[in-house]
Structure 1
Amino acid sequence: MAEEVDYGMITWPAQLTEAVHRDMYPLLEPSNSDLSAEGKTVLITGVSGGIGKAIAEAWAIAGAAGIVITGRKADVLDEVAAKLRTFGKSPGTTKVVVVPADITKESSVQKLWETAGAELGKIDVLVNNAGALTQALIGSLEPSEWWNDFEVNVKGVYLNTHFFLKQAPDGRGTIISVSTGTLGDIYPNFGSYIPSKLAQTKFMEFLHAEQPNIRAFSVFPGLVATEMPPKMYLDYALDDPMLTGGLSLFLSTPRAEWMRGCMVSVNWDIEEMETHKEEIIEEKLITLAFTKAKFGKGGHAWGSTMKK
């Protein structure tokens, strides 16, 4: 008899709540009036890919005043923009701005933000969705190829954050960066991807600490069937990309204030988390941990005693 496949095996290592979401549910549904984006402007990177498209669609459905979409594939961006203009209570009322850009180049990102400002004025929300995943053993690629994950996942996030802050003189706004639930894992061939996402997520924690008026969040998008995941994982890629779109809307509302500076997964049940809010905050359950050891005066409380 064939052994039953656990299609959640990739999800469990990063699962916080008992309830698990892999499909859209009412709380994160973009049409939910509590997630209304009316009057808000957003800039989303990496819209050439599946998750980026879903995020952009979520903001259009929620009635955003303006959406800037960027990526390297101009033709794909134009197709996405045409679709976005059909969403919302009154199709065509959301201004969609297309700006192809290379987020690893400072001059390109600067031009992106200059265009965004000229078209929409101040951008309220930045979603750093663009990402790179290079599969290779350490030492098997030329350094520039291996380093590309850091160029996109770290430098790209920093550059967009930098120019977001420049166009927000009051120091206010929301920045959401798409991370990964594999931060605590070691997978062969992921030696550039996971460390770059760790650096990105730690950067977001620093942003939270250094810019108190910026609402900073890191999001785990789950495992989505896009071109990015390795083919061996596609059978487990059952997460709806629109969950990330809905979560980005939720994190831009006052209800998410207590999660600022933290990591949040699309698979976690928000209402269950709210029930345990005090414990999550006190125990720092959704921030990066350096080690499981309990450092402090007297050292770690060992679970075993040394035999003499």
Structure 2
Amino acid sequence: MGKKIVLITGANTGLGYQMVRALCDSAQAYEILVGGRSIQKAEQAVKDALAEFPSTKSTPVAIQVDVESDDSIQAAFETVQSKYGRLDALVNNAGAVFDQKYAEGALSLRQAWAKSWDVNTAGTHIMTLTFVPLLLESSDPRLLFMASGTSSLELTENKVLPINQNPPKGWPKDGFAHSNMAAYRSSKAGMNMMMRDWARVLHNDGVKVWALSPGYLASGLGKGSEHNKRMGAQDPVVAGPFVREVLEGKRDGDVGKVILRDGKIQPW
């Protein structure tokens, strides 16, 4: 079948770009579809990856796709269908935090919650639904969702983490509406349930499905990478090899789960 065809959404920056880098650095050969809302930024990401890995066996290719736009998703599908006729792996990486936008006054509370679910859950679901026919043309189809440690219901009991601590008694609660990223966390928890349903629906088709929880990384989400670094976040580069390992079969025994980089399973 030649190179495996992998489509990564939100791949021109942050965690997505680290995935592109990791695949370019692999001993295996991939056709890496570098998805971005801006085709110009996706094209620049391709140039940057090729400049860093001039001897790569893989071929990064820019593709425009915005998970908030059904028309964009459909256009991307038609492009991949006409050019390749199949898709070996879909990595649903595109995601966003809007709680801070509410705190800054840029969005209303309803807008922040609606956009969180639209991007992280509904958009990801529509992206997946659209591309399933191409995944089913693969001999080894893989479907990945990028989860979050903050989405675990069980781990909300861990009061060591500031995000889980109880605020002082009384009302109003200072920063209550955004301090624990409730909109983001709930949308990612919803995505975990969506992943489970896709694992159920595609089980008899042989599609391997996971959600990957890469840990607290210094991405641009929330208050930005510098803030996340100060709070102890790790370098986003660690996300790339994690995704590559899943694509190359090292976590095949953990399908249908939210998996962690250390080989463990994230509790629900």
Map 1:31-180 → 2, pairs under 5 A: 39-62=3-26, 63-86=28-51, 90-91=55-56, 93-135=57-99, 136=102, 141=108, 143-170=110-137, 173-180=141-148
Task: Say if 1:60 and 1:87, in contact at 8 Å, map to a contact too.
Answer: no
Gaps of 5+ in 2: 157-162, 165-175
Corresponding residue for residue 224 of structure 1: 217
TM-aligned CA distance change 1:198 to 1:90, over 3 Å: same
Task: Say if 1:41 and 1:64, in contact at 8 Å, map to a contact too.
Answer: no
TM-score by length of 1: 0.68
TM-aligned CA distance change 1:249 to 1:76, over 3 Å: same
Identity of aligned residues (%): 21
Letter in 1 for 2:200: A
Verify: 1:241 aligned to 2:236, yes or no.
yes
Q: Deviations over 1:14-43 (max 9, x none)?
A: xxxxxxxxxxxxxxxxxxxxxxxx731100
Letter in 1 for 2:93: N
Task: Say if 1:97 and 1:116, in contact at 8 Å, map to a contact too.
Answer: no
The DSSP-based 3-state class of the residue aligned with 2:222 is coil
Distance 1:69 1:175 in 2: 16
TM-score by length of 2: 0.78
Rg (Cα) greater in structure: 1
TM-aligned CA distance change 1:199 to 1:158, over 3 Å: same
Deviation at 1:217, TM superposition (A): 0.8
Q: Deviations over 1:219-268 (max 9, x none)?
A: 112222222133554313432323221111111233322100001123x2
Map 1:142-291 → 2, pairs under 5 A: 143-170=110-137, 173-183=141-151, 184=153, 185=156, 188=176, 189=178, 190-212=181-203, 213-230=206-223, 232-266=227-261, 268=262, 270=263, 273=264, 286=266, 288=268
> Which structure shows the higher helix fraction?
2
Letter in 1 for 2:150: T
Deviation at 1:115, TM superposition (A): 1.1
What number of residue pairs does the alignment pair up?
234
Mean CA deviation greater in 110-119 or 200-209: 110-119
